[in-house]
Amino acid sequence: MSSDAPSYPVRPFTDEEAPAFAAQLDFGFHENPPQEAHDLWQGLLPRERSVAAFDGDELVSTGGDFPFELTVPGGVTVPAGGVTMITVKATHRRRGILTAMMRHQMHGWHERGDAPVGILLASEPAIYGRFGYALGVQHLSLTVPRGDNGLSAVAGSDKFRMRMVDPLEGYERCQEVVEANRLGRPGMMPRVGDGWRDAALADWEFARDGAGPLRCVLAEDADGTTVGFARYRVKEGYNNPARPECKVRVKDVYGRDLASYVAMWRFLCDLDLTSEVQAEVPADDPLTFLLADFRQAVPRLQDMLYVRIVDVDRALAARRYATAVDVVFELSDPFCPWNTGRWRLRGDADGAECSRTTDPADLVLGPRELGAAYLGGFSLGALGRAGRIEELRAGALAQASRAFVSDVAPFVPFGF
């Protein structure tokens, strides 16, 4: 693997270097988590997929990636590298260290063949664009007023029994509900193993931002089957003695169907002594249509997942397409040069293939454009209208745009 910072070798960190790795993370993110938090996240990160740069014996950067199975359009999955823990020591910025780490990571995915797609949650999005990452998923941030907020009931939403449980006790039942949703929405990923369970239920004081402990409520049908759940915290607000204004902060809310999902929301919006419910939901969430006055929920789109196509042939062949597509695109990708060239994509709702070709190109674009459209949350047509894609054959952009779109907006179920 090549390196842009040869005087700062890049490699996985060792057990002996784990404390230095944790200390640099704290310094880089200006946080002070308990040691158990470091133990959990370092335990989740396969050591061979960690990455750090060194100035002599001094660890000066951190990073790594989690191996995920990412849901893509068509209800299928693709292996993805979930980039995480990226920092560079403040004394060593602008020396090519981050570029060397990102190249080490992507070239490793390509050489091992284990992650044709890279994904990350960007603390500073502008940093990652130069490595080919593009915004692929937006979430809708809502602040729903409690009480008479006009949240409509739907058929069957009032028939469930609500039961409070310890979050750990209810975890497996909650996961069954998540699993029932996972293949139906691009961007979803499973939590596999006890480590990811512990991450989902982590309740460290430093991460609560003043809110209370994690709560869990289940919705059960007449047979006792869990059909929905919500995990949430409440931040107390008793400054106004005439009107308590505690705030409900939702961590997860799911239902097996519309009725159970609406039942969870009606529960959250009617908790005593609270004034509002704060949550992030998919951009096409049913609440968009079920709230009588959607404006009162103060809707705000925010960037979430950034996507990088690492192996274009494998990535594009892994997903399905809304309409039949047969298009040749020319790609320039200096950071992942194996992608550079012309590729023919043929696909539909049943499958796809993507292979090199010498045929004339229909579209000219880069890895960022493919990454933005990959999960179906942004259209190639919109990118073309922004001047990001060049159309060489009339009608090719519209055809490709229709094929890439997803009928269901992508959503990222948890942070990493």
| Residues in binding site for acetyl-CoA | 86-88, 94-99, 123-124
When computed from its CA atoms, the radius of gyration of the chain, rounded to whole angstroms, is 23
Q: Is 128 a catalytic residue?
A: yes
Cα–Cα nearest to 47, from 25, 65, 29: 65
Contact 290, 152 (CB under 8 A): yes
Cα–Cα distance for residue pair 37/202, rounded to 1 Å = 8
Count the alpha carbons within 13 Å of 162 in the hemisphere toward its beta carbon: 19
Q: What token pair was written down for 340?
A: 């550079």
DSSP 323-347: S-EEEEEEE--SSSGGG-EEEEEEE
Q: What token pair was written down for 285?
A: 């969430």
Q: Is 232 a catalytic residue?
A: no
Helix (H, G, I), strand (E, B) or coil at 384: helix
Cα–Cα distance for residue pair 25/23, rounded to 1 Å = 5
DSSP 14-75: PGGGHHHHHHHHHHHHT----HHHHHHHHHHS-GGGEEEEEETTEE-EEEEEEEEEEEETTT
Cα–Cα distance for residue pair 401/90, rounded to 1 Å = 42
Annotated binding site: 86-88, 94-99, 123-124
Catalytically annotated residue among 229, 261, 329, 416: 416
Contact 234, 276 (CB under 8 A): no
- Residues whose CB is less than 8 angstroms from the CB of residue 148 and which lie 6 or more positions away in sequence, other chains included: none
Catalytically annotated residue among 54, 128, 160, 261: 128
Burial call 20-45: b when 16+ CB within 10 Å, e when fewer: bbbebbeebeeeebeeebbebbbebb
| Active-site residue set | 128, 416
